[in-house]
Amino acid sequence: MDLRDAIVLVTGGGTGIGRATAQRLRQAGARVAICGRRQQPLETAAAELDVVPIVGDVGVESDAVRIVRTVTETFGDYNTLINNAGWGRFMSLVDLDLDDFRAVMNTNVFGAMLMARESAKHFIRRGGGHIVNVASTAASRGFAGGTAYCASKFALSGMTECWRAELRTHDVRVMQVNPSEVLTDFSSTSGREQRSSPRKLRGDEIAHAIASMLEMDDRGFTTELTVFATNPDQ
Instruction: List active site positions.
Output: 149
Contacts of 134 (CB under 8 A, 6+ apart): 17, 82, 83, 84, 86, 176, 177, 179, 206, 210
Beta strands 172-179 and 80-83, pairing class: unpaired
Burial of 233 (0-12, 13-18, 19+ CB in 10 A): exposed
176 bridge partner residues: 133, 224
d(CA 115, CA 202): 25
Long-range contacts of 36-45 (CB under 8 A, 24+ apart): 36/11, 36/12, 36/85, 38/14, 41/14, 41/15, 42/13, 42/14, 44/14, 45/13, 45/14, 45/15, 45/19
Give me the phi and psi of 139, to 5 degrees please: -80, -5
